[in-house]
Structure 1
Amino acid sequence: MADLAALIDAASRVFASDTSEKYMPSWLRKKNKDGLPVNSYVLTCSITFFLLLLSGTLPEINDIFNWLLNLNGIVSPYKTSVVFLAFLAFRYRHKTFAKDDFVFIRNNKGALAVGWWCFIFTFICATMGFLPQDVTFESPQWTKQLWMNIITVIVLFGTGFLLPWLRKLELKHQAKANS
Protein backbone atom coordinates (compact mmCIF):
# COMPACT_ATOMS: atom_id res chain seq x y z
CA MET A 1 0.00 0.00 0.00
CA ALA A 2 2.96 2.29 0.64
CA ASP A 3 4.12 1.73 -2.95
CA LEU A 4 0.66 2.72 -4.17
CA ALA A 5 0.76 5.95 -2.17
CA ALA A 6 4.30 6.72 -3.37
CA LEU A 7 3.37 6.19 -7.02
CA ILE A 8 0.27 8.33 -6.74
CA ASP A 9 2.15 10.99 -4.77
CA ALA A 10 4.84 11.28 -7.45
CA ALA A 11 2.22 11.68 -10.17
CA SER A 12 0.13 14.18 -8.21
CA ARG A 13 3.20 16.30 -7.39
CA VAL A 14 4.13 16.49 -11.06
CA PHE A 15 0.49 17.15 -11.88
CA ALA A 16 0.24 19.98 -9.33
CA SER A 17 3.64 21.48 -10.23
CA ASP A 18 3.66 21.38 -14.01
CA THR A 19 0.04 22.01 -14.91
CA SER A 20 -0.94 25.37 -16.28
CA GLU A 21 -2.63 27.81 -13.92
CA LYS A 22 -5.51 27.75 -16.38
CA TYR A 23 -6.40 24.16 -15.47
CA MET A 24 -5.40 23.58 -11.85
CA PRO A 25 -7.17 25.14 -8.83
CA SER A 26 -4.86 27.54 -7.00
CA TRP A 27 -5.25 25.77 -3.64
CA LEU A 28 -3.83 22.62 -5.23
CA ARG A 29 -0.85 24.49 -6.70
CA LYS A 30 0.13 26.07 -3.36
CA LYS A 31 3.84 25.53 -2.69
CA ASN A 32 5.93 25.57 0.45
CA LYS A 33 9.27 27.40 0.88
CA ASP A 34 11.09 24.55 -0.91
CA GLY A 35 8.82 24.81 -3.95
CA LEU A 36 6.93 21.55 -3.28
CA PRO A 37 3.19 21.52 -3.92
CA VAL A 38 1.99 20.85 -0.37
CA ASN A 39 -1.69 20.42 -1.18
CA SER A 40 -0.98 17.74 -3.74
CA TYR A 41 -1.10 15.48 -0.69
CA VAL A 42 -4.85 16.09 -0.59
CA LEU A 43 -5.10 14.67 -4.10
CA THR A 44 -2.76 11.79 -3.23
CA CYS A 45 -4.66 10.88 -0.07
CA SER A 46 -8.03 11.11 -1.78
CA ILE A 47 -7.06 8.83 -4.66
CA THR A 48 -5.24 6.39 -2.38
CA PHE A 49 -8.16 6.31 0.05
CA PHE A 50 -10.59 5.64 -2.79
CA LEU A 51 -8.45 2.78 -4.14
CA LEU A 52 -7.95 1.30 -0.67
CA LEU A 53 -11.66 1.38 0.08
CA LEU A 54 -12.48 -0.27 -3.21
CA SER A 55 -9.73 -2.88 -3.01
CA GLY A 56 -10.56 -3.58 0.61
CA THR A 57 -13.69 -5.35 -0.57
CA LEU A 58 -11.53 -8.11 -2.10
CA PRO A 59 -11.06 -11.26 0.00
CA GLU A 60 -7.26 -11.66 0.10
CA ILE A 61 -4.18 -9.45 -0.06
CA ASN A 62 -3.03 -11.23 -3.22
CA ASP A 63 -6.35 -10.34 -4.85
CA ILE A 64 -5.78 -6.70 -3.92
CA PHE A 65 -2.25 -6.74 -5.32
CA ASN A 66 -3.35 -8.44 -8.56
CA TRP A 67 -6.29 -6.07 -8.99
CA LEU A 68 -4.07 -3.01 -8.56
CA LEU A 69 -1.55 -4.45 -10.99
CA ASN A 70 -4.29 -5.15 -13.53
CA LEU A 71 -5.74 -1.67 -12.96
CA ASN A 72 -2.39 -0.20 -13.92
CA GLY A 73 -2.67 -2.21 -17.15
CA ILE A 74 -5.83 -0.25 -17.92
CA VAL A 75 -4.96 3.27 -16.79
CA SER A 76 -1.43 3.48 -18.24
CA PRO A 77 -2.42 2.47 -21.79
CA TYR A 78 -5.36 4.88 -21.70
CA LYS A 79 -2.98 7.67 -20.73
CA THR A 80 -0.73 6.64 -23.61
CA SER A 81 -3.75 6.74 -25.94
CA VAL A 82 -4.20 10.39 -25.02
CA VAL A 83 -0.57 11.01 -26.01
CA PHE A 84 -1.26 9.42 -29.41
CA LEU A 85 -4.36 11.60 -29.78
CA ALA A 86 -2.24 14.66 -29.09
CA PHE A 87 0.27 13.47 -31.69
CA LEU A 88 -2.54 13.04 -34.21
CA ALA A 89 -3.95 16.50 -33.42
CA PHE A 90 -0.49 17.98 -33.86
CA ARG A 91 0.06 16.21 -37.18
CA TYR A 92 -3.35 17.25 -38.53
CA ARG A 93 -2.41 20.87 -37.79
CA HIS A 94 1.30 20.57 -38.53
CA LYS A 95 1.30 23.59 -40.85
CA THR A 96 0.31 25.92 -38.00
CA PHE A 97 3.38 25.01 -35.95
CA ALA A 98 6.96 26.10 -36.52
CA LYS A 99 9.24 23.58 -38.19
CA ASP A 100 11.39 21.73 -35.70
CA ASP A 101 14.78 20.21 -36.40
CA PHE A 102 13.59 16.92 -34.95
CA VAL A 103 10.58 15.26 -36.51
CA PHE A 104 9.96 11.57 -35.87
CA ILE A 105 8.29 10.90 -39.24
CA ARG A 106 8.70 13.56 -41.93
CA ASN A 107 5.96 12.28 -44.23
CA ASN A 108 2.67 13.58 -42.80
CA LYS A 109 0.51 10.78 -44.22
CA GLY A 110 2.94 8.19 -42.87
CA ALA A 111 2.96 9.90 -39.49
CA LEU A 112 -0.85 9.94 -39.39
CA ALA A 113 -1.01 6.25 -40.35
CA VAL A 114 1.45 5.32 -37.60
CA GLY A 115 -0.33 7.60 -35.12
CA TRP A 116 -3.74 6.08 -35.85
CA TRP A 117 -2.36 2.55 -35.69
CA CYS A 118 -0.68 3.25 -32.32
CA PHE A 119 -3.80 4.95 -30.94
CA ILE A 120 -6.22 2.21 -32.04
CA PHE A 121 -3.96 -0.62 -30.87
CA THR A 122 -3.30 0.99 -27.48
CA PHE A 123 -6.95 1.92 -26.96
CA ILE A 124 -8.15 -1.60 -27.77
CA CYS A 125 -5.57 -3.17 -25.45
CA ALA A 126 -6.52 -0.79 -22.63
CA THR A 127 -10.19 -1.56 -23.13
CA MET A 128 -9.53 -5.30 -23.10
CA GLY A 129 -7.72 -4.76 -19.80
CA PHE A 130 -11.08 -4.12 -18.14
CA LEU A 131 -11.72 -7.87 -18.20
CA PRO A 132 -10.45 -9.35 -14.91
CA GLN A 133 -7.59 -11.77 -15.46
CA ASP A 134 -6.95 -13.57 -12.19
CA VAL A 135 -10.43 -14.91 -11.45
CA THR A 136 -12.80 -17.41 -13.04
CA PHE A 137 -14.76 -15.99 -15.97
CA GLU A 138 -18.31 -14.85 -15.05
CA SER A 139 -17.90 -15.78 -11.39
CA PRO A 140 -19.21 -13.29 -8.80
CA GLN A 141 -15.60 -12.21 -8.14
CA TRP A 142 -15.06 -11.64 -11.89
CA THR A 143 -18.17 -9.46 -12.13
CA LYS A 144 -17.16 -7.53 -9.02
CA GLN A 145 -13.68 -6.81 -10.36
CA LEU A 146 -15.10 -5.79 -13.74
CA TRP A 147 -17.30 -3.20 -12.01
CA MET A 148 -14.39 -2.11 -9.82
CA ASN A 149 -12.32 -1.51 -12.97
CA ILE A 150 -15.08 0.50 -14.63
CA ILE A 151 -15.79 2.63 -11.54
CA THR A 152 -12.12 3.27 -10.85
CA VAL A 153 -11.32 4.39 -14.38
CA ILE A 154 -14.35 6.70 -14.39
CA VAL A 155 -13.28 8.24 -11.06
CA LEU A 156 -9.61 8.62 -12.03
CA PHE A 157 -10.28 10.14 -15.42
CA GLY A 158 -13.20 12.11 -13.98
CA THR A 159 -10.70 13.81 -11.69
CA GLY A 160 -8.92 14.98 -14.82
CA PHE A 161 -12.12 16.74 -15.90
CA LEU A 162 -13.13 17.90 -12.43
CA LEU A 163 -9.99 19.88 -11.61
CA PRO A 164 -10.16 22.20 -14.68
CA TRP A 165 -13.87 22.71 -14.00
CA LEU A 166 -13.06 23.70 -10.39
CA ARG A 167 -10.42 26.12 -11.68
CA LYS A 168 -12.97 27.65 -14.04
CA LEU A 169 -15.37 28.18 -11.13
CA GLU A 170 -12.55 29.65 -9.08
CA LEU A 171 -11.73 32.14 -11.83
CA LYS A 172 -15.41 33.12 -12.13
CA HIS A 173 -15.59 33.82 -8.40
CA GLN A 174 -12.36 35.84 -8.57
CA ALA A 175 -13.73 37.87 -11.47
CA LYS A 176 -16.94 38.58 -9.55
CA ALA A 177 -14.98 39.61 -6.46
CA ASN A 178 -12.77 41.96 -8.47
CA SER A 179 -15.66 43.67 -10.25
Structure 2
Amino acid sequence: MLFTLAGPAHSELIIRKSRFIGCVEPMPDRAAAQARVEQLRQQHPTARHVCWALLAGGQSAAVDDGEPGGTAGRPMLDVLRHQQLDGVLATVVRYFGGIKLGAGGLVRAYTDSVAQALLTAHKLPRQRLVQLRACVPYALEGLLRRELAAADAQLLDVQHAAQVIFTLSLPEAQASTFQSRLDELAHGRLGWLDAD
Protein backbone atom coordinates (compact mmCIF):
# COMPACT_ATOMS: atom_id res chain seq x y z
CA MET A 1 0.00 0.00 0.00
CA LEU A 2 1.22 3.49 -0.85
CA PHE A 3 1.05 6.45 1.52
CA THR A 4 1.13 10.20 1.17
CA LEU A 5 1.52 12.91 3.81
CA ALA A 6 -1.17 14.95 5.54
CA GLY A 7 1.09 18.01 5.54
CA PRO A 8 4.70 19.20 5.66
CA ALA A 9 7.19 17.98 8.25
CA HIS A 10 10.64 19.44 8.91
CA SER A 11 14.04 18.56 10.35
CA GLU A 12 17.27 20.39 10.97
CA LEU A 13 20.70 18.81 11.41
CA ILE A 14 24.12 20.34 12.02
CA ILE A 15 26.88 18.07 10.76
CA ARG A 16 30.49 19.31 10.96
CA LYS A 17 29.36 22.94 10.81
CA SER A 18 27.07 22.41 7.79
CA ARG A 19 23.37 23.05 8.37
CA PHE A 20 20.88 20.72 6.66
CA ILE A 21 17.23 21.85 6.66
CA GLY A 22 14.99 18.98 5.58
CA CYS A 23 11.34 19.03 4.56
CA VAL A 24 8.91 16.40 3.32
CA GLU A 25 5.53 17.52 2.01
CA PRO A 26 2.66 16.36 -0.17
CA MET A 27 3.18 17.28 -3.83
CA PRO A 28 0.92 16.48 -6.81
CA ASP A 29 3.42 16.61 -9.69
CA ARG A 30 6.82 17.66 -11.04
CA ALA A 31 5.76 21.19 -12.04
CA ALA A 32 4.52 21.93 -8.52
CA ALA A 33 7.73 20.44 -7.08
CA GLN A 34 9.93 22.66 -9.26
CA ALA A 35 7.93 25.71 -8.20
CA ARG A 36 8.38 24.74 -4.53
CA VAL A 37 12.14 24.27 -4.99
CA GLU A 38 12.38 27.71 -6.63
CA GLN A 39 10.50 29.17 -3.67
CA LEU A 40 13.06 27.56 -1.32
CA ARG A 41 15.93 29.06 -3.34
CA GLN A 42 14.38 32.49 -2.85
CA GLN A 43 13.83 31.90 0.87
CA HIS A 44 17.44 30.71 1.34
CA PRO A 45 19.51 32.84 -1.09
CA THR A 46 22.81 32.16 0.72
CA ALA A 47 22.38 28.37 0.89
CA ARG A 48 24.93 26.42 -1.14
CA HIS A 49 22.56 23.63 -2.26
CA VAL A 50 18.83 22.94 -2.50
CA CYS A 51 18.65 19.21 -3.22
CA TRP A 52 15.36 17.43 -3.80
CA ALA A 53 13.61 14.18 -4.61
CA LEU A 54 10.07 13.58 -5.84
CA LEU A 55 7.74 10.59 -6.09
CA ALA A 56 4.37 11.61 -7.54
CA GLY A 57 2.16 9.33 -9.58
CA GLY A 58 4.93 7.83 -11.67
CA GLN A 59 6.86 11.11 -11.86
CA SER A 60 10.13 10.87 -10.00
CA ALA A 61 13.15 13.11 -9.73
CA ALA A 62 16.45 13.11 -7.85
CA VAL A 63 18.40 16.37 -8.05
CA ASP A 64 21.85 16.82 -6.47
CA ASP A 65 22.06 20.59 -7.16
CA GLY A 66 25.84 20.76 -7.34
CA GLU A 67 26.66 18.06 -4.78
CA PRO A 68 28.75 15.16 -6.16
CA GLY A 69 26.59 12.91 -8.35
CA GLY A 70 24.45 10.43 -6.46
CA THR A 71 25.18 11.81 -2.98
CA ALA A 72 21.99 13.81 -2.35
CA GLY A 73 18.96 13.37 -4.62
CA ARG A 74 19.22 9.60 -5.11
CA PRO A 75 19.60 8.78 -1.37
CA MET A 76 16.65 11.08 -0.61
CA LEU A 77 14.56 9.32 -3.27
CA ASP A 78 15.52 5.94 -1.79
CA VAL A 79 14.15 7.02 1.60
CA LEU A 80 10.81 7.97 0.01
CA ARG A 81 10.63 4.64 -1.82
CA HIS A 82 11.56 2.67 1.30
CA GLN A 83 8.73 4.41 3.20
CA GLN A 84 6.30 3.51 0.34
CA LEU A 85 5.39 7.15 -0.27
CA ASP A 86 3.79 8.69 -3.33
CA GLY A 87 2.79 12.27 -4.00
CA VAL A 88 5.67 13.46 -1.80
CA LEU A 89 8.50 15.95 -2.27
CA ALA A 90 11.62 15.80 -0.09
CA THR A 91 13.90 18.84 -0.02
CA VAL A 92 17.11 19.56 1.87
CA VAL A 93 18.62 23.03 1.99
CA ARG A 94 22.35 22.94 2.84
CA TYR A 95 24.36 25.79 4.26
CA PHE A 96 28.01 24.75 3.81
CA GLY A 97 30.05 24.96 6.99
CA GLY A 98 33.50 24.85 5.41
CA ILE A 99 34.30 21.19 6.18
CA LYS A 100 33.92 18.64 3.40
CA LEU A 101 31.99 15.52 4.40
CA GLY A 102 33.05 13.15 1.63
CA ALA A 103 30.65 11.09 -0.47
CA GLY A 104 29.64 8.76 2.37
CA GLY A 105 29.11 11.65 4.76
CA LEU A 106 26.92 13.48 2.24
CA VAL A 107 24.78 10.38 1.60
CA ARG A 108 24.26 9.95 5.36
CA ALA A 109 23.49 13.64 5.89
CA TYR A 110 20.87 13.84 3.14
CA THR A 111 19.35 10.47 4.06
CA ASP A 112 19.16 11.43 7.74
CA SER A 113 17.61 14.84 6.96
CA VAL A 114 14.72 13.22 5.10
CA ALA A 115 14.37 10.34 7.58
CA GLN A 116 14.25 12.76 10.55
CA ALA A 117 11.55 14.84 8.88
CA LEU A 118 9.52 11.69 8.18
CA LEU A 119 9.61 10.75 11.88
CA THR A 120 7.23 13.62 12.63
CA ALA A 121 5.18 13.36 9.41
CA HIS A 122 1.60 12.09 9.49
CA LYS A 123 1.17 9.43 6.79
CA LEU A 124 -2.14 8.77 5.09
CA PRO A 125 -3.04 5.77 2.93
CA ARG A 126 -3.17 6.82 -0.70
CA GLN A 127 -6.48 5.84 -2.23
CA ARG A 128 -7.44 5.63 -5.86
CA LEU A 129 -10.51 7.78 -6.50
CA VAL A 130 -13.24 7.11 -9.04
CA GLN A 131 -15.62 9.63 -10.54
CA LEU A 132 -19.34 8.84 -10.75
CA ARG A 133 -22.32 10.68 -12.30
CA ALA A 134 -25.88 10.16 -11.19
CA CYS A 135 -29.16 11.75 -12.23
CA VAL A 136 -32.15 11.88 -9.90
CA PRO A 137 -35.55 13.59 -9.79
CA TYR A 138 -35.62 16.82 -7.77
CA ALA A 139 -37.47 15.00 -4.97
CA LEU A 140 -34.38 12.83 -4.33
CA GLU A 141 -31.78 15.64 -4.37
CA GLY A 142 -31.75 15.94 -0.56
CA LEU A 143 -31.40 12.18 -0.11
CA LEU A 144 -28.44 12.05 -2.49
CA ARG A 145 -26.74 14.99 -0.80
CA ARG A 146 -27.12 13.32 2.64
CA GLU A 147 -25.69 10.05 1.33
CA LEU A 148 -22.75 11.89 -0.26
CA ALA A 149 -21.94 13.53 3.07
CA ALA A 150 -22.30 10.25 4.98
CA ALA A 151 -19.95 8.46 2.56
CA ASP A 152 -17.36 11.28 2.60
CA ALA A 153 -17.73 11.53 -1.17
CA GLN A 154 -16.57 14.75 -2.78
CA LEU A 155 -19.22 16.63 -4.74
CA LEU A 156 -17.57 17.93 -7.92
CA ASP A 157 -20.52 19.38 -9.85
CA VAL A 158 -24.32 19.70 -9.76
CA GLN A 159 -26.47 20.53 -12.79
CA HIS A 160 -30.15 21.35 -12.51
CA ALA A 161 -32.00 20.45 -15.70
CA ALA A 162 -34.99 18.14 -16.23
CA GLN A 163 -33.37 16.14 -13.43
CA VAL A 164 -30.51 16.85 -11.02
CA ILE A 165 -27.16 15.53 -12.28
CA PHE A 166 -24.45 15.00 -9.66
CA THR A 167 -20.77 14.44 -10.44
CA LEU A 168 -18.82 13.07 -7.46
CA SER A 169 -15.67 11.25 -6.52
CA LEU A 170 -14.95 8.74 -3.78
CA PRO A 171 -12.42 5.99 -3.03
CA GLU A 172 -12.60 3.15 -5.53
CA ALA A 173 -13.03 0.57 -2.76
CA GLN A 174 -16.29 2.23 -1.64
CA ALA A 175 -17.82 2.85 -5.08
CA SER A 176 -19.79 -0.37 -5.63
CA THR A 177 -21.23 -0.39 -2.08
CA PHE A 178 -22.17 3.28 -2.42
CA GLN A 179 -23.88 2.70 -5.78
CA SER A 180 -25.80 -0.33 -4.45
CA ARG A 181 -26.99 1.62 -1.41
CA LEU A 182 -28.22 4.52 -3.54
CA ASP A 183 -29.97 2.16 -6.00
CA GLU A 184 -31.82 0.60 -3.07
CA LEU A 185 -32.77 3.92 -1.44
CA ALA A 186 -33.94 5.50 -4.71
CA HIS A 187 -36.18 2.54 -5.64
CA GLY A 188 -35.14 2.60 -9.31
CA ARG A 189 -35.47 6.38 -9.76
CA LEU A 190 -31.71 7.02 -9.89
CA GLY A 191 -29.74 6.67 -13.11
CA TRP A 192 -25.98 6.19 -13.41
CA LEU A 193 -24.34 8.06 -16.29
CA ASP A 194 -20.93 7.71 -17.90
CA ALA A 195 -18.36 9.72 -15.97
CA ASP A 196 -17.07 11.43 -19.16
TM-score above 0.5, yes or no: no
Superposition TM-score, scaled by structure 2 size: 0.23
**Higher RCO, Cα 8 Å, sep 6+:** 1
With the length of structure 1 as denominator, give the TM-score of the two structures: 0.24
Which structure is larger by alpha-carbon Rg, 1 or 2?
Answer: 2
* Higher share in strand: 2
